[in-house]
Amino acid sequence: MLEIENLSKIYRGGKVAVDKLNLDIKEGEFIAFIGTSGSGKTTALRMINRMVEPTSGKITLNGKDLTKMNAVTLRRSIGYVIQQIGLMPHMTIRDNITLVPHLLKWSKEKKDETARRLIELVNLPTSYLDYYPAQLSGGQQQRIGVLRALAANQDIILMDEPFGALDPITRDTLQDLIKDLQQRLNKTVIFVTHDMDEAIKLADRIAIMHEGKLVQFDTPDNILAAPANDFVKEFIGSHRLIQQKPNVKTVDEVMIKPISITIEKSLDEAIRLMVEKRVDTLFVTDGDHRLQGYLDVESFTGARKTKKSVSECYEKEIFYVKTGSKLQDSVRRILKRNLKNIPVVDEDHRLVGLITRANIVDIVYDTIWGDEEDVQEKKELILE
Amino acid sequence: MIAFFTENSSEILLKTWEHFYISMIALLLGVVIAVPIGILLSKTKYLSKIVLSITSVLQTVPSLALLALMIPFFGVGKVPAIIALCIYSLLPILNNTFIGMRSVNENTKGAGIAMGMTPLQSIRLVELPLAIPVIMSGIRLSAVYVIAWATLASYIGAGGLGDFIFNGLNLYKAELIIGGAIIVTVLALLADFLLSKLERWVTPKGLRIEGGRL
């Protein structure tokens, strides 16, 4: 879909920022450009929407040469998310989201409709549309920054270290969000980062750059398994290489059956269920078994007297993983966020399983002794 | 003192009005000339230095001398006074427009360009709205200067409150001098107050709540 041929950027004074870059990016791919600072990754990215004019080389999008297009028209057709967020402080969130549609002279109705539809995608209330950026937290602002890049149905989104300025937990949440949006909306994303964990987590393919040259361009698994040279090996870091060696397990292999309750049940029923099953957390689902949130002891200790049903007091903010994701990623998340457990959902957001802290023990056990049968047994033991 | 105000009330009203409109026309012309030039200058590298130093030099010409210089070209009366005052109002407005435009966050500007704004759209939709508070404070400063200096315009026959003060000086009547000065001061304060209201009104709402959480 997007082909980059012999793309070079030489600055005045002879500094070569990007040296004969060749890349072939497929539709719907999530590509990460990674490298140390000065490796040319940002310059390469900015040449795609001509924020930086290439010195030589060609970029073609579906056969069309981008270097010959009108730069303004081109930029309106490519989404761009920048590191420092860069929302317009004097515009409402609505106007910020629909900035590109405004430049494209969409009707007011169409813009409003777009803003409403988009803000729901990032789990922010529609009332925020009338707020100003200064009234939002950094993480919320960057969600709007991401929406701004999507508002005119751009197929390609460029992101220049979009989460660099955020705290680790917010960054983690936004990474999940962006990956989810990218898959759901089938966008092609080109992402610049210097964080290897971020690249491994998000990218379908990673382009490692060093001193303006492309060193390796492959899937995360292939890069971890076979680094092209010593630079790549060092860049990845030895701890990740080792981590990759044991058989990769998916969450499906170890997840247990979660205890869930539907949203319309009463609190008394919920408590009875907790006592009966001896658990402290219930997962709240709707009629179709789709995950809505969770209910734990803390969520109703204060509300017991005033609130009667599950729908009134369950927690809507919930972290989950999809079926088929790697077990070690979920474990990392449990540890990083200090979660007790993490539910597993399928493609339709239906609750299918649960990973608990006991799985961490499994992994440790597994990497030390590597005896799968034993782990299975032990898991059942924990369940009882 | 009170006698001065009661006896000359109709004349005071007339002179105050004269003073006010000479100043406001001069200021308005100043805004119309200085803001666009300031915007253009903010886009240049070297020209801005030259132009800003020229206006600084103009600013140092004594106001009385400048008014007197107007006479050979434009004669006496209101027109030369307005032109002279307008020249005076240029520098603060020009300077502030230039600084306001230059101090707009590079990132915000960059984001606008990356979203596909043309240079003109960037000025209209991003830079100018964000520079407004700085430009407005330049205009307020100019307004106070112009109202104060308009007193001297009476010297070249433009009328205004300066007439009281110059008459007072000629006739040794302290109440004329003081009364005139008081009204000029009140007028300057009033103009500043009204312009501060205008500043609030034209400043984009998102900038006023900066830092305020809901």
A63: left (phi over 0), alpha (psi -120 to 50) or beta: left
Residues of chain B found within 8 Å of residue A70, distances taken between Cβ atoms: none
Average pLDDT over every residue of A106-133: 90
Distance CA A155, CA A62 (A): 11
Burial of A256 (0-12, 13-18, 19+ CB in 10 A): middle
Residues of chain B found within 8 Å of residue A131, distances taken between Cβ atoms: 214
Ranking A54-63, A246-255, B7-16, B31-40 by mean pLDDT, the lowest is A246-255
A89 with B108: Cβ contact below 8 A: yes
Residue A222, number of CB atoms within 10 A of its CB: 14
**pLDDT, tens only, A152-210:** 888 899 999 888 878 888 888 889 888 888 888 889 999 999 888 889 889 999 999 98
A89 with B214: Cβ contact below 8 A: no
pLDDT value at residue A272:
84
Task: Give A95→chain B minimum CA distance, Å.
Answer: 11
pLDDT tops 80 at residue A20: yes
Model confidence band, residue A302 (pLDDT cutoffs 50, 70, 90) = low
A72 with B116: Cβ contact below 8 A: yes
Mutate one of B107, B113, B115, B214 to test the A interface: name it (highest A CB count within 10 A): B115
pTM above 0.90, yes or no: no
Q: Look at A375 and A285; give whichever has higher pLDDT.
A: A285
Q: Are A344 and A352 in contact (CB under 8 A)?
A: yes
Return the residue of A nearest to B212 by Cα.
A135
Note the Cα A190 to chain centre separation in Å: 13
Model confidence band, residue B146 (pLDDT cutoffs 50, 70, 90) = very high
pLDDT tops 90 at residue A100: yes
A103 with B121: Cβ contact below 8 A: yes
**pLDDT, tens only, B205-214:** 888 775 444 3
Q: Please measure the distance between the N-terminal and C-terminal CA atoms of chain B and give it in whole angstroms.
A: 53
| Mean pLDDT of chain A, nearest integer | 84
Residues of chain A found within 8 Å of residue B113, distances taken between Cβ atoms: 51, 75
CB pairs under 8 A between A and B: 75
pLDDT tops 90 at residue A261: no
Cβ–Cβ contact B6 with A under 8 A: no
Q: Look at B18 and A318; give whichever has higher pLDDT.
A: B18
Q: Are B112 and B130 in contact (CB under 8 A)?
A: no
With pLDDT > 70 as the criterion, what percentage of chain A qualifies?
A: 91
Cβ–Cβ contact B135 with A under 8 A: no
Nearby residues of B24 by Cβ (< 8 Å), 6 or more positions away: none
Task: Give B210→chain A minimum CA distance, Å.
Answer: 5
Cβ–Cβ contact B207 with A under 8 A: yes
Residue A33, number of CB atoms within 10 A of its CB: 30
Task: Give A250→chain B minimum CA distance, Å.
Answer: 40
List alpha helices for B43-127, DSSP H.
47-60, 63-74, 78-102, 106-114, 119-121
Task: Give B135→chain A minimum CA distance, Å.
Answer: 16
* Selection from B166, B107, B100 nearest residue B138 by Cα: B100
CATH number of A251-383: 3.10.580.10
Residues of chain B found within 8 Å of residue A133, distances taken between Cβ atoms: 206
Q: Are A58 and A50 in contact (CB under 8 A)?
A: no
Q: Strand order in A341-345's β-sheet?
A: A321-322, A341-345, A351-356
Nearest to A90 among B111, B207, B214 (CB): B207
Distances (CA, A) of A262 to A110, A300, A314: 36, 16, 11
Interface of A with B (CB under 8 A): 49, 51, 72-77, 80, 82, 84-92, 99-100, 103, 131-135, 148
pLDDT value at residue B28:
95
pLDDT value at residue A79:
92
B114 with A88: Cβ contact below 8 A: no
pLDDT value at residue A305:
67
Q: Are A116 and A126 in contact (CB under 8 A)?
A: yes
Distances (CA, A) of A252 to A324, A365, A366, A377: 6, 18, 16, 16
Distance CA A315, CA A339 (A): 14
Distances (CA, A) of A54 to A9, A150, A188, A211, A379: 5, 25, 21, 17, 57
pLDDT value at residue A330:
75
**pLDDT, tens only, B170-187:** 988 888 888 889 999 999
Nearby residues of A266 by Cβ (< 8 Å), 6 or more positions away: A308, A309, A310
Burial of A53 (0-12, 13-18, 19+ CB in 10 A): exposed
pLDDT value at residue A90:
92
To the question of domain B10-204 being in CATH 3.40.190.10, the answer is no
**In the CATH scheme, what is the homologous superfamily, with its name and number, of domain A2-243?**
P-loop containing nucleotide triphosphate hydrolases (3.40.50.300)
Pairing of strands A291-296, A281-285: antiparallel
- Strands annotated E in A82-161: 156-160
Mutate one of A88, A127, A136 to test the B interface: name it (highest B CB count within 10 A): A88
Domain coordinates in residue numbering, chain A: 2-243, 251-383
Q: Are A310 and A225 in contact (CB under 8 A)?
A: no
Ranking A253-257, A334-338, B79-83, B158-162 by mean pLDDT, the lowest is A334-338
Residues of chain B found within 8 Å of residue A76, distances taken between Cβ atoms: 115-116
Distance CA A344, CA A297 (A): 21
pLDDT value at residue A246:
54
Average pLDDT over every residue of B16-36: 93
Q: Are B93 and B35 in contact (CB under 8 A)?
A: yes
Range among A359-363, A367-371, B56-60, B136-140 with highest mean pLDDT value: B136-140
